[in-house]
Copies of this chain bind each other. A is one copy, B any other.
Amino acid sequence: MILPVTDADDPRIADYAHVRERDLVGRQGRFMAEGEVVLRLLASRLGTAGGHRLLSLLLSQAQAARLSDVIAALPEEVPVHVASQAVMDEVVGFPIHRGILALGAARALPEPAALLDTLGERALVVVALGLTNHDNMGGIFRNAAAFGADAVIIDVACCDPLYRKAIRVSVGASLVVPFVRVPNAGMLLELLGARGFEVVALSPSGQEVLSHLARPPRVAALFGTEGPGLPPELMARVRTVAIPMATGFDSLNVATTSGIVLHHLAGV
């Protein structure tokens, strides 16, 4: 349903006003997706069981013309607001060159046990603990999707994978890869252990070398923050794995680390 908008104060597009400020307050189960690749991914998954809902679109006139196939395939009740680039920039509060915004309602997060119970005998799970950087969170989801990880588990200290920037950096992967939140590391290990998951924690001080690690059928790869890393009491309870690096520059970004680890685990 295409709805032309000519006034930045039009109440029908109030949800898109001042997008950056809106990012900072509680989003109450809503998310904002940007750009063509993410929109096409989101649109292709609508109507799947337990999926997200698309509440509305805000497109520049140029993008609305380009995306006519996507618009035609949407359910009729989804409002597609179309504005000039100038009006769109005024509404969102900055020059939004991509000209594509989508407002969605996130599916409810499943219970961790319920999600894990859906996984097969061969399963790959990514675990992120204490990650507060949206670039890193988005990068980890992008890698999880690229290497076919079955799920991502985050803890309560992690930032929201459905924050606008995290969705963008993930190229939409955080809208697609199922994820759950666990309250603490103890419950995490209990949930995974009870289901036969081998837990491997990445750390510069890890006892095993990644390239020699045989892939366990059910495996969970744990990543902590780049600075402090994973807590010692957690490290003591799991297998620890290191990526050997050049002396004098022992430093990898955590999202890059996840890519290296998932490439290894997915391929062996």
Using a CB–CB cutoff of 8 Å, the interface residues on chain A facing chain B are: 135, 139, 142-143, 145-148, 171, 173, 176, 210-211, 243-246, 249-253, 255-257, 259-260, 263, 266-267
Within the complex, what minimum Cβ distance (angstroms) separates A144 from chain B? 9
Q: With the chains together, A219 CA to B147 CA distance in Å?
A: 26
Establish whether residues B146 and A249, one from each chain, have CB atoms under 8 Å apart when the complex forms: yes
B contact residues around A135 at 8 Å (CB): 135
B contact residues around A146 at 8 Å (CB): 245-246, 249-252
Q: With the chains together, A260 CA to B243 CA distance in Å?
A: 11
B contact residues around A252 at 8 Å (CB): 142-143, 146, 259
Q: Which residue of B lies closest to A244 (CB)?
A: B267
Instruction: Please name 5 further chain A to chain B contacts, defined as beta carbons within 8 Å, in addition to the given A146-B249, A243-B263, A244-B267, sorted by A numbering.
Output: A145-B249, A147-B245, A148-B246, A173-B249, A211-B267
- 19 A-B residue pairings within 8 Å (CB atoms): A135-B135, A139-B253, A142-B253, A143-B252, A146-B249, A146-B251, A148-B246, A173-B249, A211-B263, A244-B266, A244-B267, A246-B266, A253-B255, A253-B259, A255-B256, A256-B256, A256-B259, A257-B259, A259-B259
Q: Which residue of B lies closest to A209 (CB)?
A: B267
Q: Which residue of B lies closest to A226 (CB)?
A: B171
B contact residues around A257 at 8 Å (CB): 259
Q: With the chains together, A267 CA to B255 CA distance in Å?
A: 20
Within the complex, what minimum Cβ distance (angstroms) separates A195 from chain B? 22
B contact residues around A148 at 8 Å (CB): 245-246
Q: Which of A211, A243, A250, A253 counts the most chain B CB atoms within 10 A?
A: A253
Sort A-B residue pairs by CB-CB distance and give the 6 closest, nearest first. Answer: A148-B246, A256-B259, A145-B249, A146-B245, A260-B263, A211-B267
Q: Which residue of B lies closest to A135 (CB)?
A: B135
Q: Which of A246, A255, A263 counts the most chain B CB atoms within 10 A?
A: A263
